[in-house]
Structure 1
């Protein structure tokens, strides 16, 4: 099951989201690539950056990039979990606005200022239909909704514990920042 921001519909609306996620991945990857033996784990990267940057940490480098990446990934996971759980707008069951708003509320809203919150709320009207999202996740193949939902569930079962471990690491290392973008 490929999870990609390409599945979210209107490129002009969601291209900044995709650019943000891929930019954060590139920043983390660049640090890793600079010394793979030294940076075997994400925790190694955070520990080295904490020592290297002193009081500027965690507002810098791969630590900051991973912080925003994990938030974006949490948004995607909560969105998919909400769809998998069958949550929907009863009047418009093929729309995923309810799912996206729930995911935003849980994963990102508290980190965004008023302007970004309003921008997101407006952008949910550009989201694809649930059926189109599921088809995109299946790389265009026609698959029964139940099969797609089962694949989403399997994906969530594998990925959620990894993301939870990253959140726990940030908490233990006191690396989480609560400022608004």
Structure 2
């Protein structure tokens, strides 16, 4: 009999399936969805706690900033563009990047034949590829080596996502949830690119 995995995505609300009627990203909905992702990441294991703490700190900064002017910061786009000339909110940029890391990781999981068909038990190649694409370009030597440590302790596929029906249910829901998450990340990326708000410096 299969044991329950660390992740159960069946009840996960996820990012909204569509944007607000205005066509914009509602700040509160984005914060709530980000918190769900953080809760998922917590279940990767204690060694991932620095990433969890960093993401949680970024979400808290975003929430605090939103509460200072709820009327004019109802939508993420308005918040970014209104403050574009003084945009020194690294917490928003790094939160987006961390969310992209998780989205890329799960994208590789659900599009990998070894995982889906052969049910290989190693998720290390997927998290490594996601990291190389999303975060490594912005990390200096210290953080790159920190990730190498986390990489070694990546939970197995059966531990994280389960096997048999558990695994199939998780994959089914990932295929629903990840495109919605990608939709929001692409919209933010387009905004940052259009208004030249990216910061490519390494930390």
TM-score > 0.5, shorter chain as reference: yes
> TM-score, with normalisation over the residues of structure 2?
0.75
Q: Which residue of 1 aligns with 2:191?
A: 169
Unaligned runs of 5+ in 1: 136-141
Q: Which runs of 4+ in 1 moved over 3 A?
A: none
Say how many residue pairs are matched. 164
Q: Which residue of 2 aligns with 1:139?
A: none
What is the CA–CA distance in structure 2 between the aligned matches of 1:65 and 1:145, rounded to whole Å? Answer: 33
Q: Give the alignment of 1:28-177 within 5 angstroms.
A: 28-51=62-85, 53=86, 57=87, 60-61=88-89, 64-86=90-112, 88=114, 93-135=120-162, 143-177=165-199
Higher relative contact order, chain-length normalized (CA < 8 Å, sep 6+): 2
SS of residue in 2 equivalent to 1:8: coil
Shift of 1:178: 0.3
Greater share of helix: 1
What's the RMSD between the two structures over aligned residues? 2.0
SS of residue in 2 equivalent to 1:144: helix
> TM-score, with normalisation over the residues of structure 1?
0.83
Unaligned runs of 5+ in 2: 1-8, 13-36
What is the CA–CA distance in structure 2 between the aligned matches of 1:119 and 1:24, rounded to whole Å? Answer: 19
